[in-house]
């Protein structure tokens, strides 16, 4: 008979065992920074003032969060080590791609610590997710359900569960968030934390369990996604150079039409527009951290390959809702606690 290993969080002071965070953001970088200990970058892909919302509860090493963004963003980076995260859309309008696989409203996205995040979120995207310590989930699955959960999820990034499974999982996560946000003090009781932890673990196991009308997607990324990933890598290596579609075609050894169709399917943008978005986001980061007394908009624009200053200012304002000079003066709105 197996015995439950001690949870390392059991011996911590109760006052440090939980937290509740709510934020509103007006910038993709601010949104990316909301997830604690995740090393990630958000690139805004569609124009307009960015608006994001984030809510997180944390206890016993479990992170439960909801993220809402109004603009399409490309998300890259690494999630924190030692975790298994599962997320499900609350609202999905348009197409999204997660780790090379298309996602649908009933898709469950999953990653483990150290995996590379590779996600294009469509506009007006709303997701709820839970990240749990991998060791805790593994032991729970083995001891309580006699399942090798990490073996089941190996090489899986998108789980297409049955609709009833996904609806139940989504509703449960949202209910927990709503309940705790109304009365966060309930988490000061260790018994409440333990009960909620086990309920969340049980919910995860049900969500990724087998059903008659569902099957895990373990297929390799689509060919078009592979092309886009290679193009993105090449763009990042040469982002400050005046790249052309012809440069990409020669480097990747694909036709213009293939490159165009691949970008349109995966990112909903053509290659030229995506490269421009990458440069605009890079220029914005540099403008936000620059010293206005020592650096000018023109210098920063030139570093990112924008030789026509008025066109740069127009494109920048269309993308971010403000002029680059306003960003340089520190006019960007900071993330606000709620």
Contact 45, 274 (CB under 8 A): yes
> Of 310, 275, 64, nearest to 181 (Cα)?
64
For residues 116-136, give the mean pLDDT. Answer: 94
- Ranges 19-23, 242-246, 257-261, 290-294: which has the least confidence: 242-246
- Res 294: pLDDT: 87
Checking if the pLDDT of 155 tops 90, the result is no
Q: Is the pLDDT of residue 52 over 60?
A: yes
Check residue 8 and give its pLDDT: 45
Quick one: fold of 223-333?
Arc Repressor Mutant, subunit A (1.10.10)
**Phi–psi pair at 8, nearest 5 degrees:** -65, -15
**What are the angstrom distances between the C-alpha of 324 and each of 286, 300, 317, 318?**
10, 10, 7, 11
Average pLDDT for residues 287-296, to the nearest whole number?
A: 89
Cβ-proximal residues to 109 (8 Å cutoff; 6+ apart), any chain: 86, 87, 88, 98, 99, 103, 119, 129, 157, 158, 159
211 confidence band (pLDDT: 50, 70, 90): low
pLDDT digits (tens, 9 = 90+) for 300-328: 988 887 878 889 999 999 999 999 999 99
DSSP β-ladder status, 18-25 and 336-337: antiparallel
Tell me the pLDDT tens digit for each residue of 162-174: 889 999 999 999 9
Q: Which residue has the higher pLDDT, 276 or 69?
A: 69
Least confident of 16-20, 195-199, 292-296: 16-20
- pLDDT (tens digit per residue) in 220-245: 677 888 899 899 889 888 877 777 88
Say how far residue 67 (Cα) sits from the centre of its chain. 9
- Using a 10 angstrom Cβ sphere, with 0-12 exposed, 13-18 middle and 19 or more buried, the burial of residue 217 is middle
225 token code pair = 């996604």
pLDDT of residue 88: 96
Assigned token pair, 138: 């593994």
- What pLDDT is attached to residue 137? 95
Average pLDDT for residues 111-124, to the nearest whole number?
91
pLDDT of 16 higher than 80: no
Query: For residue 218, what pLDDT is reported?
Result: 47
What is the domain partition of the chain in residue ranges? Answer: 14-217, 223-333
Q: How many CA atoms lie within 13 A of 112 on its CB side?
A: 13
Q: What pLDDT is recorded for position 25? A: 96
pLDDT bin (cut points 50, 70, 90) of residue 15 is very low
The fold of 14-217 is Jelly Rolls (2.60.120)
The mean pLDDT of the chain is: 86
């Amino acid at each position: 008979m197996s015995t439950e290993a001690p949870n390392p969080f059991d011996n911590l002071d109760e006052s440090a065992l939980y937290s509740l965070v709510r934020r509103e953001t007006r910038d993709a970088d601010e949104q990316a920074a909301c997830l604690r200990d995740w090393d990630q970058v958000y690139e805004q892909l569609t124009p307009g003032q960015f608006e994001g919302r984030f809510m997180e509860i944390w206890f016993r090493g479990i992170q439960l969060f909801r993220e809402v963004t109004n603009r399409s963003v490309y998300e890259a980076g690494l999630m924190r080590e030692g975790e298994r995260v599962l997320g499900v859309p609350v609202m999905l309008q348009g197409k999204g791609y997660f780790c090379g696989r298309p996602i649908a409203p009933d898709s469950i996205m999953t990653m483990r610590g150290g995996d590379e995040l590779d996600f294009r979120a469509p506009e007006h995207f709303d997701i709820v997710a839970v990240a749990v310590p991998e060791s805790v989930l593994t032991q729970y699955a083995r001891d309580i359900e006699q399942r090798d959960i990490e073996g089941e999820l190996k090489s899986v990034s998108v789980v297409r569960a049955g609709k009833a499974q996904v609806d139940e999982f989504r509703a449960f996560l949202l209910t927990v968030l709503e309940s705790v946000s109304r009365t966060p003090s309930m988490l000061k009781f260790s018994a409440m934390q333990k009960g909620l932890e086990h309920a969340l673990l049980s919910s995860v196991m049900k969500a990724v369990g087998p059903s008659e009308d569902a099957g895990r997607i373990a297929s390799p990324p689509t060919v078009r996604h592979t092309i886009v990933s290679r193009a993105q890598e090449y763009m990042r290596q040469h982002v400050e150079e005046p790249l052309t579609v012809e440069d990409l075609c020669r480097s990747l050894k694909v036709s213009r039409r293939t490159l165009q169709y691949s970008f349109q399917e995966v990112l909903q943008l053509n290659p030229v527009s995506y490269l421009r978005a990458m440069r605009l986001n890079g220029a914005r980061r540099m403008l936000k951290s620059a010293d206005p007394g020592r650096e000018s908009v023109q210098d920063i624009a030139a570093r990112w390959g924008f030789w026509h200053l008025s066109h740069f200012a127009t494109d920048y304002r269309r993308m971010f809702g403000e002029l680059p000079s306003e960003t340089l003066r520190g006019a960007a709105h900071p993330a606000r606690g709620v």
